[in-house]
Structure 1
Amino acid sequence: MNVESHLEKIARLESLRERFDPLQDFELWFWAGMTAGTHAVNAALHLAEVTAGTDAYPMQPGVYQVPQSDGTLAARFCALGDVLHVGRPKIEAPVPEDVASMMHLMETVEQYRDPCVREGRAPDQAIIEACDAAVRACLRLLNERMKGMQHAH
């Protein structure tokens, strides 16, 4: 995806996330935050020119759905564009410090995915606060990167 598409999705996901009660609607709140953070990481990677921001949508590491001239999507092997999750696929190129921090923040969030969403661990206020703080910090770093790029031009 391109940076503008990532930003649009972040805005929609953040709006959705605000409507959920983090404890009562944990799974939906969690997925919206994790997905928004992953979009932020992808946008930052594109802005840093580490990955390509194209109109291809990741399915599996290295496999993307690519728009065709007839309006359909077709699975294709492509160079690294969007990551599905931090570390999937692994990025071999050097990553700027702020983007590496964003990736670490998303690892903080993702550590709760399996226990709380898939394995039945009940989330508590500490988990909610840790996830919320990490997503907010990730989005703040993306905003700082974009502001820095505006001032550079």
Structure 2
Amino acid sequence: MKVPSHTEKIGRLQALRARLDPLQDFGLWFWAGMTAGTHAVNAALHHAGITQDEDRFPTQPGVYLVPQPDGSLRPAFGPLGDVLHVGRPKVEAPVPDDIAAMMVAMEEIEHYRDPCLREGLAPTAAIAGDCDAALRRCLALLAVRLEGARDGY
């Protein structure tokens, strides 16, 4: 995806999260936050020129759906464009400190994914607070990176 598409999705996901209760709707609230953060990391990686900023959509590491002239999508192999989760696939190129900090924040969020969504750990206000704080750090780092950006980002 392209940087503006990532930032648009972040905005829509944040609007969704604002309508949800972090504890009552934890699963959806969590996934929306984790997805928003992953979009932020991808936007930052594209902005830094580390990954490709193209209109193609990852289905699994190295496999993308590529828009065709007739409006359809065709699967194709390609170099790293969007990560699906931090570390999947691993970014092999050197990463600037701000993006590395974004990735650490995302790992803090993902630390709760399996325990809370798959293994039955009841989410608490502290867990929701940790996830929200990590996402806010991630999004703030993206905002700083994009503030002086060129090329319409």
Corresponding residue number in structure 1 for 2:121: 121
Worse overlay, 70-79 or 21-30: 70-79
Distance in 2 separating the partners of 1:6 and 1:125? 28
Corresponding residue number in structure 2 for 1:146: 146
- The Cα of 1:148 is off from its aligned counterpart by 4.0
Distance in 1 separating the partners of 2:122 and 2:148? 40
User: Any gaps of 5 or more consecutive residues in structure 1?
Assistant: none
User: Any gaps of 5 or more consecutive residues in structure 2?
Assistant: none
- The Cα of 1:118 is off from its aligned counterpart by 1.2
Distance in 1 separating the partners of 2:120 and 2:74? 36
Residues 111-149 of structure 1 show CA distances to partners (whole Å, capped at 9, x for unaligned) of 111110111110011111100000011000000101243
Q: Secondary structure at the match of 2:149?
A: helix
Distance in 2 separating the partners of 1:110 and 1:99? 16
- The Cα of 1:70 is off from its aligned counterpart by 1.5
Q: Which runs of 4+ in 1 moved over 2 A?
A: none
Distance in 2 separating the partners of 1:14 and 1:112? 19
What amino acid is the match of 1:89? P
Q: Secondary structure at the match of 1:145?
A: helix
Corresponding residue number in structure 1 for 2:108: 108
Corresponding residue number in structure 2 for 1:40: 40
What amino acid is the match of 1:141? L
Worse overlay, 18-27 or 68-77: 68-77
Q: TM-score, normalising length from structure 1?
A: 0.96
What amino acid is the match of 2:78? C
Corresponding residue number in structure 1 for 2:97: 97
The number of residue pairs the alignment matches comes to 150
- The Cα of 1:45 is off from its aligned counterpart by 0.3
* Coordinate RMSD, CA, aligned: 0.8
Worse overlay, 34-43 or 118-127: 118-127
Corresponding residue number in structure 1 for 2:56: 56
Distance in 2 separating the partners of 1:111 and 1:127? 10
What amino acid is the match of 1:95? V
Q: Does 1:135 align with 2:129?
A: no
**What percentage of residue pairs aligned between the two structures are identical?**
66
Distance in 2 separating the partners of 1:120 and 1:27? 11
